[in-house]
Amino acid sequence: MGHLLGLGWIFLLMAAGTIEAQKKPSINISTKCLGNIMRVDVGPLGGTLLDVAVIINNTGVALTPSIAAQCGFSMKSDPSGNALIYVSLQNCFAQNAEDELFTTALQLRLHGSQFGQDEVYRVVETCQYDVWASREVICDYNYMEVSVRRAAPDDFPLPGHSVSSSKPLNSRRAAEKPPMDTGFRATTVVFFTAEGEKPMTVTDAQKSGYGIGNTPTRLVLRSPMMAPETYTQKVAGVPMRVFKTSTIFEKKWLATQVDAAAACPLHEGSVFFTQSTITWYLPRQIDPMISSGQFNLLEVHFGINGQRLDAAEMQARDYSISLDDFYVITELPIGGVGGYYKSHIQDDLYYVSYMIEPMIELLWTEDSSHEQTRYKVFFHIATHLIPRPLELIDNTVPGEDMFKMTLGHFAPDVVLMNITFPTGVLSMQDCSARGFNILEHLSPNSSMKVFTLQVPFADPAILKQAGNGVTVYSLHLTFGLMLVDELVFFSYAASLEAVVKDLVPPSVSSGCDNSNFYVLVKYGTQGFNFQTMVGKRFMTPSLAQHYNYMENGTHFSFVVPFSSPDVAVEAIESSSIRSRLDVTLNNPETNAQIKEFSVACSFPSTITECFPNGTMTALALKLESVPSLNPSKLTLEDPSCGPVHSNDRYAFFVFTVNSCGTKRKFMSNAMLYENEISLPDEVLTKKSQTSEEPEYHLKVSCVYDINTSQAVAFNTRPRRSEPYAENSKGQLQVVMHLALDDSYSKLQNFEDYPIAKYLQQPLYFEVELLKSANPLVSLELENCWATQQEDRTSQPRWNLIINGCPNPVDPYQVVYHPVWADARVRYPSHFKRFEVQMFAFADGKDDLSTKLFVHCDVVICDTKNPIDGVCGQQCPNTEQRTKG
Ligand SMILES: *[C@@H]1O[C@H](CO)[C@@H](O)[C@H](O)[C@H]1NC(C)=O
Ligand SMILES: *[C@@H]1O[C@H](CO)[C@@H](O)[C@H](O)[C@H]1NC(C)=O
Ligand SMILES: *[C@@H]1O[C@H](CO)[C@@H](O)[C@H](O)[C@H]1NC(C)=O
Ligand SMILES: *[C@@H]1O[C@H](CO)[C@@H](O)[C@H](O)[C@H]1NC(C)=O
Ligand SMILES: *[C@@H]1O[C@H](CO)[C@@H](O)[C@H](O)[C@H]1NC(C)=O
Ligand SMILES: *[C@@H]1O[C@H](CO)[C@@H](O)[C@H](O)[C@H]1NC(C)=O
Ligand SMILES: *[C@@H]1O[C@H](CO)[C@@H](O)[C@H](O)[C@H]1NC(C)=O
């Protein structure tokens, strides 16, 4: 058989190649004895190549297609991608023990996977089969085999060459005869061809590709399906290939012949299709194999892939088999279990055909000879091409920021090789590395599959075009695909587009009037999907109600008074409060900030109120910058003057201008009362031990205008010693002058100031209440003092008059001069005159040109009721002086 070694018998069987073919397929190998054949299942192959060889004498003989047909081997595949090797038990290489046990050894070599090296497996299987019929016929798709019992020859010798075709071939009663003895040797095979008889020596026949074998009791003949010495004949309208022989055996001068014939159906003309069904007609009476018209069909079996199915399984699979006068009729659903789809590409269009490998087994006896024939046909059915236009389904979900698509439907024999994007070609590995999720999904019945792909919008392969508040994403791609069995490449191009509205976050706008913040929130493109915080509080329904919250589907608004606790006070100014409102919009799930907004406004506000009756009120607000301040601890200059009420945000003070350390200043046309709210020293010293020492100083003041028409007039009232103001018309003005001498007849001009004087020179002061025609009020000097600076509160200071009386410690005491009515003086009580000797401050010794400023606080008294204080004052020593 050496001459038969040669080409490998190579099957490329890539199973439903999954994209993640990273895992090396670990191969299943199993064997099954199925009557007169054996099946070896290998797989799933998953992209690897399988070489099959037969082992004889420890040597592998590669199975080429011709050796396979000659020797009884065939190979098919099943839907799962397994290779199914069919082996006739009587194959050329079988070790035959008494025609009962048949041992075949195969060598399987897997190679061509992109991972790892070749794998070699040996499979040795022995099948027992001892129910041989007198004739057994196997119709495989690549060969016809007939095995007949070798009976002892009749006692008449044969010429050894010519056998008349008129002689009935199957008339021998071989069944009753003992087997032919071993002395007989097959020498010649006579083929009955379409052209007539054709004798060939056994050796020549074997060289021509026929298999001729002797077993202890049987003769086995095998022919490739379409061998030249076979012919086609229609049987009941079904074309069949006929292999008809007579084999001559010789022993010395004896010769005998054994006739053997097989007829196998051809595909064309025996299978018919509708949309959904395959119908296979097998002639019931296969004439070339039946000599007399009389025969008995004993058994009919149906199977798939060489394995019989029982009636229940047939029904479950929707298979049906029936007999009529002429045919064994099999009906199979297209797409059903047991078969599979295979892909085809024609003119760039995708087609599938459905494949199934049914088997029918018949057993009959002929009445005339009582000989049994077992007839087994393996049939390969492939439907016409069924168009299956490919479809790309766009499954993109808005908001997911990626294209999602499904491409299908494909038979399992298609693999996705690559995808071409405008930016380049990516292999499947490239796609995975790039973050494109590619998956393969098999339909539940495994007959078809689809690919799914996801491409994020952010990928450079995607074109983006923005404008008009939308972004258009487009993807152009071409799928590169391959039919694994045939290495045919094809492609599918597609375009997808997604229009996404640009994301606009919510926006906040606001305004203020004299007392409120007005906030308007406009929803973004995602609507009302946020939580609102006002200051540090969530906008709860009750807070919303409090802030007059209104909503209309696209906006909401609310109003926050500037005095609300959710507002932060940034600064207190003379007549306003600067406050800030913070509004934050948060994502309720992640708590992430979507929008932060602040608005600050100055609200006119009377921090200090001045009442005509001399009462002052002051509101001290806690500032955002002094968060640790406790307002209740605040006091006026006099630490005993605390707030009348307070809480954690403010302190409210009420006091009169002559109390709580309020300072008073005379200005040219107004009276100024000043105080300061702060933390008293004791609190500060306590606090100063800690690192954070709140600083809080709020100056409060009242100015009583002298010359406004709304100003005050003094009325003499009983039991009133303090200025008493009432809203009425009147004017009050006080003026101080220097007189040229003690006659007080002439005054220094205002333009002459400052006036230079030598030390110890006398200065003649006069203080006058102007614009008052009330003789019952008197002007009294409360305090007079001198400073170096213009500021009346500046230091150093020298007191001239204290509580209406000359400073007792002054070495050059002030001298009062009495006032008499004259041309200048109408009401003497409206005047006060005093004399001071020019002096200098001790620290101003070196610079005698230093200026001196003289200030006085005056009091208006009711002369009828000089109750106490300055108004009723008598100075112990002044009388004497004034007289002097
Ligand atoms: C081997 O066959 C068994 C049973 O048919 C199957 O479950 C298993 O998946 C197969 N192994 C491989 C690697 O395919
Ligand atoms: C196998 O070996 C036997 C004995 O060694 C020999 O007779 C036979 O011809 C060999 N078969 C083949 C196919 O080489
Ligand atoms: C198998 O599944 C495919 C896809 O789901 C379907 O089109 C086909 O009809 C199914 N075949 C059978 C026999 O159920
Ligand atoms: C991509 O696949 C197509 C079709 O399967 C094939 O023709 C082409 O050569 C492949 N391109 C690359 C770069 O691999
Ligand atoms: C909602 O209120 C806002 C602001 O007042 C206004 O601009 C908008 O037109 C209103 N929308 C509807 C639907 O009424
Ligand atoms: C001063 O006037 C205010 C406002 O009219 C009043 O509330 C307050 O009691 C008055 N104070 C005195 C001491 O009369
Ligand atoms: C008061 O009078 C002075 C001078 O007569 C003038 O300058 C000032 O503007 C007046 N004040 C008011 C508030 O009218």
* Domain CATH for 630: 2.60.40.3210
Please enumerate in sequence order all residues whose Cβ is within 8 A of that of 89, keeping only pairs 6 or more positions apart, or say none. Answer: 36, 37, 38, 102, 104, 127, 129
Q: How far is the CA of 343 from the centre of ligand 3 (A)?
A: 16
Q: Which residue has the CA at smallest separation from atom 13 of ligand 4?
A: 425
CA distance 208 to 389: 46
Q: Which of 634, 664, 661, 665 is nearest to 647 (CA)?
A: 634
Q: What confidence score (pLDDT) does residue 869 get? A: 65
Asked if the structure places residue 857 within a domain, the reply is: yes
Residue 614: inside a domain: yes
- The atom number, within ligand 3, closest to the CA of 335 reads 13
Give the Å distance between the CA of 441 and the centre of ligand 4: 22
What's the whole-number average pLDDT of the chain? 82
- Can you give the pLDDT at residue 789? 76
State the pLDDT at residue 10. 35
Which range marks the domain in which residue 72 is found? 4-131
Tell me what pLDDT residue 178 has.
67
Q: Are residues 494 and 521 in the same domain?
A: no
Q: Are residues 494 and 514 in the same domain?
A: no
Buried b / exposed e along 424-437 (16+ C-beta atoms within 10 A) = eebebeebeebebe
Report how far residue 367's alpha carbon sits from residue 372's, in angstroms, rounded to the nearest whole number.
10
The tens digit of pLDDT for each residue in 777-801 reads 788 888 888 887 777 777 778 888 8
The reported pLDDT for the residue numbered 696 is: 83
Q: In whole angstroms, give the CA distance from residue 350 to residue 331.
A: 26
Q: Cα(522) to centroid of ligand 5, in Å? A: 9
Which residue from 671, 703, 707, 735 has its CB within 8 A of the most atoms of ligand 7, so it is best to mutate? 707
Query: Is 214 found in the same domain as 184?
Result: yes
* pLDDT higher than 50, residue 11: no
Q: Express each pLDDT in 635-688 by its tens digit.
A: 999 999 999 999 888 899 999 887 888 887 766 667 788 898 988 876 655 554
Closest atom of ligand 1 relative to the 26 alpha carbon: 13
Please give the Cα distance from 424 to 593 (Å, whole number). 40
* pTM across the whole model: 0.57
Question: Are both 296 and 425 inside the same structural domain?
Answer: no
If asked whether residues 371 and 404 sit together in one domain, one would say: no
Boundary of a domain, candidates 688, 705, 722: 705
Average pLDDT over residues 759-784: 82
- The answer to whether position 654 is within a domain reads yes
Over 60: is that where the pLDDT of 698 sits?
yes
Q: Higher model confidence: residue 317 or residue 688? A: 317
Asked if residue 727 belongs to a domain, the reply is no
Same domain, 366 and 229: yes
Q: Rounded distance, CA 718 to CA 727, Å?
A: 18
Same domain, 555 and 612: no
Shared domain for 457 and 409, answered yes or no, is: yes
User: CATH number, domain at 850?
Assistant: 2.60.40.4100
Domain count, the chain: 6
Q: How far away, in angstroms, is 614 Cα from ligand 6 center?
A: 8
Rounded average pLDDT over 221-230: 95
Based on the domain organization, do 108 and 61 belong to the same domain?
yes
Does any domain span residue 537? Answer: yes
Residue 147: inside a domain: no
User: Which of 501, 532, 548 delimits the end of a domain?
Assistant: 501
Q: Which residues line ligand 4 (CB under 6 A)?
A: 417-418, 425, 480-482, 489, 491
More confident call, 486 vs 328: 328
Looking at mean pLDDT, say which of 93-102, 394-403, 668-677 comes out highest.
93-102
- What CATH number does the domain containing 483 carry? 2.60.40
CA distances to 317, 615, 616, 631, 686 from 677, in Å? 99, 16, 13, 10, 18
**Whether residues 488 and 613 fall in one domain:** no
Query: What does the pLDDT look like over 336-346, one tens digit per residue?
Result: 888 889 899 99
Tokens of 550: 């209104």
Residue predicted with more confidence, 708 or 771: 771
Has residue 148 been placed in a domain?
A: no
The domain boundary, picked from 356, 389, 422, lies at: 389
Residue 224 lies in a domain: yes
**Ligand 2 center to residue 73 CA distance, Å?**
21
Nearest bound ligand to the CA of residue 726? 6
**Is the CB of residue 829 less than 8 Å from the CB of residue 863?**
yes
pLDDT confidence of residue 16: 27
Are 125 and 195 members of one domain?
no
Mean pLDDT value across residues 442-464: 88
* Atom of ligand 1 at shortest range from CA of 28: 1
Nearest residue (by CA) to ligand 7, atom 11, is 707
**Residue bearing the bigger pLDDT, 754 or 604:** 604
Q: Do 398 and 385 belong together in one domain?
A: no
191-210 pLDDT, tens digit each: 999 899 999 999 999 999 99
- 613 C-alpha vs ligand 6 centroid, how far in Å? 6
**Is residue 375 scored above 90 in pLDDT?**
yes
